[in-house]
Amino acid sequence: MVGYMLVVGVPALLLAAILARISERVAKRAATLLYSLAVLIARFGLWGAGVRIRVRGRDLLDPEQNYLFMPNHCSNVDPPVVVAALRRQPCMMAKASLFRIPVLGPVMSAVGFVPVLRKNRRAALRAIEEAGERLREGRDFVIFPEGTRSPDDELLPLKKGPFFLALAGGVPVVPIRVRGSRRIMERGSKVIYRGDVHVEFCPPIPVGDLGSAPEIARQDLRRQVRAELEGDLTPPEPRVTDEGHGPH
């Protein structure tokens, strides 16, 4: 994966920087190319490690609608697993330190990821405002409402920030149940084990149906998202798809 980033990522980043000077439209296409290359290596890494992604409920999503996705979080493999399962190009919030990594950092910036300093409240609020702009522009966004990885399969308390973002963005919220990722790569581990990760998309929650009082709307949304994330995976149905047969 490191070799791929150096051989493919560096030239692609330089090409994207050149194309971005031509026009905004070309810059967006360059960012799309970078994102596609990044997703390809993420899928290849998971496939190479023997990780199979079992997806359910993706047919609940409207291809013409953008969403704010809220998955539970137990493992470092959750972000690439969720992006691979989505088959979209969502933005994410990421630790500001990741943006200082050569190649990776510039690519994250180019595709619309938002850096966040967790211990700086003002910076965190600015990050939420920037993420809200991405949603209003029609971009998809993924945020992990627990804020950090759970050490077990129990859902941690949900942070307030994601629900401020939900109301600021004004798009439907989709809870995502991720099961099995902790066994693939536990918190603190540097090893990825082979196995299945189940990703289930819950029905979208329309933010406009939550009422007019912002605090009540945030509390209601928080309650609904928590209830969905704590739910069990639904029984296997024909619409289950297997994403684990290669980095396609």
Q: Give the C-alpha separation, 10 to 31, whole Å.
A: 14
| The predicted structure's pLDDT at residue 102 | 72
**pTM for the complete prediction?**
0.85
> So what CATH class is 2-242?
alpha beta
Model pLDDT for residues 130-172, shown as the tens digit of each residue: 999 999 999 999 999 998 899 888 999 999 999 999 999 999 9
Domain boundaries, the chain: 2-242
Residue type at 181 in one-letter notation:
S
| The predicted structure's pLDDT at residue 39 | 82
Q: In this model, does residue 188 exceed pLDDT 90?
A: no
Using alpha carbons, select from 32, 33, 38, 29 the residue that is nearest to residue 1: 38
Model pLDDT for residues 209-230, shown as the tens digit of each residue: 776 688 888 999 999 999 999 9
Model pLDDT for residues 123-132, shown as the tens digit of each residue: 888 888 999 9
Q: Give the C-alpha separation, 47 to 240, whole Å.
A: 18
